[in-house]
Amino acid sequence: MTDDLRGKVAIAGIGNTRRWHAPGRSAYDQLEEAAFLALEDSGLTLRDVDGLYCAHSTSGLPILNVVERLGIGSHLCHADGTMVGGASFLFHLRSAVSALVSGQCDVALVCYGSNQASAGGKLVPMPDPQPYEAPYKPRYPISSYALAAARHMHDFGTTREHLAAVALAARDWARLNPDAQERGPLTLDDVLSARMVSDPLSTRDWCLVTDGGAAVVLTRADRARDLKRPPVHVLGTGVAVSHRQIAQMPDLTRTAATQSGPTAMQAAGISVADVDHVMLYDAFTICTLMFLEDLGFCAKGEGGDFIASGAIAPGGSLPVNTNGGGFSCNHPGMYGLFTLIEAVQQLRGDAGDRQIQDAQIALAHANGGVLSSQATAILGTAATV
């Protein structure tokens, strides 16, 4: 994303079904509801949508399914079904900005739905074989993240208490969010004594498994100013990919967020010091810690101490995952789109008891695969453009 795209596109509407366990509703039921909620929020209709973006973990043809489900094929001008795991939707955001500014479409809908929990609670199946890792019978995907966590511990002295602080901060935020699935008390002992799944990660180092649907509507900023809700401008985006199998990750303690983050911030014309609010894809506790380091909020190896200091919890210096994140709010298989939705709510001032005062700039970051794809978006209020 180049500087000439800064602020030219805005998120005009958001949709979140908040249905974390909805038996009888399919993934596409969730997606459709989220799409209509986002359009209603923006004041636009399906007839206005001529750009479509979606990805799905259990469908090879999500664009075709959604076009048929929503009945928008006759007026669709642009579509993109890029699939890079949970980061896909921030990849879509970047693509939509270019498409909107270049006139390839006028209104873009980015949407997702999942019935992962009510369909049996199983994690997303691996869609392709990993021949160099399969002989070792890893537990996908947690063994991959455990490998990264173990290496971080070895290199930098990170502890399980440091990782536990991620889950505790997320729960503290969730207790301020009436829509969060898990709002009960959680202690350090609860996390440290939880059943080990793949050393050093336990069941408390792992995100929730929920249903859910999410959608955002984007249009050019000049049009968004005249719509129903205050526009939230896309100031900058960045994407990066580094590997497929964890065994091919160049450095187990550094993700491609070291590329996507600076790219997004350069396009937005900001530094980490300008960010008021952060949403990070927290599939596992090690993710939050590594992304804070890789995005530049603290030095490499200092993430554990930074989090343990209370910096990312309510009342801390850097509000992170204020909805409760994937650990305590929701995680319907592919969580990336929900980072954008919470960022928009904060910048609109609509976050209730968890609202960050005077939030003007938010950073949303998503992860896909096994630390494989990374995508960063910088969003801002009208005052930042």
User: What's the pLDDT tens digit per position in 32-89?
Assistant: 999 999 999 999 999 999 999 999 888 889 999 999 999 999 999 999 999 999 999 9
Q: What is the pLDDT of residue 154?
A: 98
Instruction: Kindly state the average pLDDT of the residues 352-366.
Output: 98
Measured CA distances, 112 to 59, 79, 83, 87, 357 (Å): 12, 14, 12, 12, 30
Q: How many CB atoms lie within 10 A of CB 258?
A: 20
- 360, β-bridge pairs: none
Q: What is the pLDDT of residue 131?
A: 84
Q: How far apart are CA 53 and CA 95, in angstroms?
A: 9
In the numeric block, which tokens belong to residue 232?
């939230």
Instruction: Kindly state the average pLDDT of the residues 353-365.
Output: 98
Q: What is the pLDDT of residues 208-251, one digit of tens each?
A: 999 999 999 999 999 999 999 999 999 999 999 999 999 999 99
- The alpha carbon dihedral of 240, 28, 141, 340 has a sign of positive
Amino acid residing at 288: T
Please give the model's pTM, rounded to 2 decimal places. Answer: 0.97
Q: What is the pLDDT of residues 127-171, one digit of tens each?
A: 677 888 888 888 889 999 999 999 999 999 999 999 999 999 999
Mean pLDDT of the chain: 96
